[in-house]
Structure 1
Amino acid sequence: MKHLPAALLLLASAATFAQEPLYTAKDLTKENMFSSNIEGPNFDKAGNLYVVNFIKDGTIGNISTKNGSGEVFVTLPEGSIANSIQFTSGGNMLLADFKGHNVLKVDMKTRQVSVFAHSGRFNQPNDLCINRKDQVFASDPDWKNSTGQLWRIDKDGKTTLLAENMGTTNGIELSPDEKTLYVNESVQRKVWKFDVDARGNISNKRLFAEFPDHGFDGMKCDKAGNLYLTRYGKGTIVVLSPEGKQLREIALKGKSCSNLVFGGKDGKTVFVTLQDRKCMETFRVEIAGKNF
């Protein structure tokens, strides 16, 4: 059999994607492949998918996007459990270690784990987003007291407290132009937005969206600036325009959706972590994620 030209392969691949229904969830992995703390999916520059707490707490799994199989990529030091994954421009993996009260760094070549940032004022670093200057923004909830903080962590590991006396801060995301920071409060069911200046400082806090029921968890932006927000307990992803208008709500198979990430070759496949099913689901969208 003759090999198809590259252009025809691309067309065949695009045709396959086109046949998939949009906004329709399907399973990527089998159930119970992760602990109940499955969270923080993210891709490295090579397109490898990593997810926290594969098989058990305290691990990072490398998950196949083709067949949903997985293997342990790294096991964290005793006493550490990750909740979020981000990658620096240099390729290092950063982890929000909510149990160890740190942000950890993983050298992807040696798989050595070190403390990237620590503060005695950290509650439980929960979710992370990162800008093109390698500045990290971290949500830091105090679940016991239903309060929270926001931090900026510069590329040298220096920590700066940006906001305190908030509700239970959880999902955090930058707009595509990195001039707006979105932060949600799980218990209070509110999403706030801040202006971000060139130095990474925030100001002008205002309410972006509010819901009467169910919790929130992770959230991500597409290239158009629409915000995909997990409705934890409801089992849906709600899509909000940059103006805060609800564009659609996508039903999942599980209820406890904890986080999501855009991926696939065209950036139009959304990968979702489900804590009740301890697995991952995917669905196709029209607009690629902001990093594509």
Structure 2
Amino acid sequence: MKRLSLLSAAMVLASGIASADMQVVATDVIGVEGPQIVGNDLYYVSWAKETVNKWDGKNNSVVKEFPGCGPTGLTLTPSKTLFVACSADPGTIMEIDLKGNKIGQWDADKKGDKLAGGVNDMVTAHSGAVYATLWGQATKLPSKVSGKIIMFSPESKTWSVVAEHINYANGIGLSPDNKTLYVSAEVGNVVYKFPVNKDGTLGDMENFAVLGALSPTQYTDPWTGPDGIEVDRDGNVYVAQWGGGKILKISSTGELLKVIEVPGSSGTTNIAFSDDNKTMFITAVDDSSASIATGKIFKVEKQ
């Protein structure tokens, strides 16, 4: 028998995680993404219906419709408001209260540059700073590598560019100590990391994980790569694989720890953890290649 490489052995050990205990808490959500826990409620978005929604543990409801936004991400601020990432190009970032009333809106960074390509995902730091990804040029070859990370200053209430040249910037997450920022580059199927400086700016971009080397995707299209990112209290990085129907749990050192299969899905979009860190919520579409991306939200014990 041919001897397995260390990488192949790790892949075998990490695969085949059962998902039978997953509970479906929302169905038929077209373009489901952006899960965000707020107390006992789960907020999420439909990028196709252009709504922010809420599941209160029993029922799902529409909080507010935002025509022309194409929402793909949410993040909770220290003031218990939500920032909404609008993926419509050029992008917009809105701040809303928990009832959906708009508090603020930004259509450009502090230099006056539009949020080109649309805003994809966001994460809030302990300081109140917010990091957001800009997709960049959302076309296939030839195209510029123009994805960016922008940072919101809670003092100046403005956004500034803190990283550039990310190949279709998508999901984003912070380590528990807020010293490392992770971002997924959808083209190339890779996750990068950045050291976070004391002033919130970012150091040089580093490779964190080449996902194709850890676990194969369902499709060979190099434009189909990682989507949302969530980091748990232990520093493990959970990466939703668009076109993969699964979530990869990766240690802070880049080791694949677990593959979490999502039943009946070919496109996971994001993850959120409950406040007690015992439950995870997964947003996923049934068929990532479909023109109408109908999906579900799963609730499962954190793995």
TM-score band, normalised by the shorter chain? 0.7 to 0.9
- Residue number in structure 2 paired with 1:70: 60
C-alpha offsets along residues 81-113 of structure 1, whole Å, 9 cap, x if unaligned? 21111111111111001116111011235x322
Alpha-carbon spacing, 1:146–1:40, altered in 2? closer, same or farther (3 Å):
farther
d(CA) in 2 for partners of 1:220, 1:251: 16
d(CA) in 2 for partners of 1:23, 1:247: 16
Correspondence 1:77-116 to 2 at 5 A: 78-99=67-88, 101-108=91-98, 111-116=100-105
C-alpha offsets along residues 196-232 of structure 1, whole Å, 9 cap, x if unaligned? 0111010032100002353210010111100011122
- Residue number in structure 1 paired with 2:206: 206
- Residue number in structure 2 paired with 1:158: 158
Correspondence 1:1-292 to 2 at 5 A: 24=20, 26-32=22-28, 34-35=29-30, 37-44=31-38, 46-53=39-46, 57-65=49-57, 67=58, 69-76=59-66, 78-99=67-88, 101-108=91-98, 111-119=100-108, 120-123=113-116, 124-142=118-136, 143-144=138-139, 145=143, 147=145, 148-155=147-154, 156-212=156-212, 213-214=216-217, 215-253=225-263, 254-263=265-274, 266-276=276-286, 277-285=294-302
How high is the sequence identity, in percent, across the aligned residues? 24
- Deviation, 1:27, is 3.3
Q: What's the TM-score, normalizing by structure 1?
A: 0.82
Q: Which runs of 5+ in 2 are unaligned?
A: 1-16, 218-224, 287-293
C-alpha offsets along residues 117-170 of structure 1, whole Å, 9 cap, x if unaligned? 221331211000010111110111122236311111112431111111221110
How many residues are paired up? Answer: 257
Equivalent residue of 1:203, what SS?
Answer: coil
User: Contact 1:174/1:221 (CA < 8 Å) preserved in 2?
Assistant: yes
AA aligned opposite 1:154: S
User: Contact 2:33/2:269 (CA < 8 Å) preserved in 1?
Assistant: yes
d(CA) in 2 for partners of 1:59, 1:236: 25
Equivalent residue of 2:75, what SS?
Answer: strand
Q: Which runs of 5+ in 1 are unaligned?
A: 1-20, 287-292
d(CA) in 1 for partners of 2:172, 2:271: 12
Equivalent residue of 2:27, what SS?
Answer: coil
d(CA) in 2 for partners of 1:140, 1:174: 17
Structure 1 residue ranges (4+ consecutive) displaced by more than 3 angstroms after TM superposition: 21-25
- Deviation, 1:189, is 0.6
User: Contact 2:26/2:298 (CA < 8 Å) preserved in 1?
Assistant: no
d(CA) in 1 for partners of 2:37, 2:211: 30
Q: What is the aligned-residue RMSD (CA, Å)?
A: 2.0
Equivalent residue of 2:266, what SS?
Answer: coil
Q: What's the TM-score, normalizing by structure 2?
A: 0.79
User: Contact 2:25/2:299 (CA < 8 Å) preserved in 1?
Assistant: no
User: Contact 1:24/1:250 (CA < 8 Å) preserved in 2?
Assistant: no
- Deviation, 1:194, is 0.6
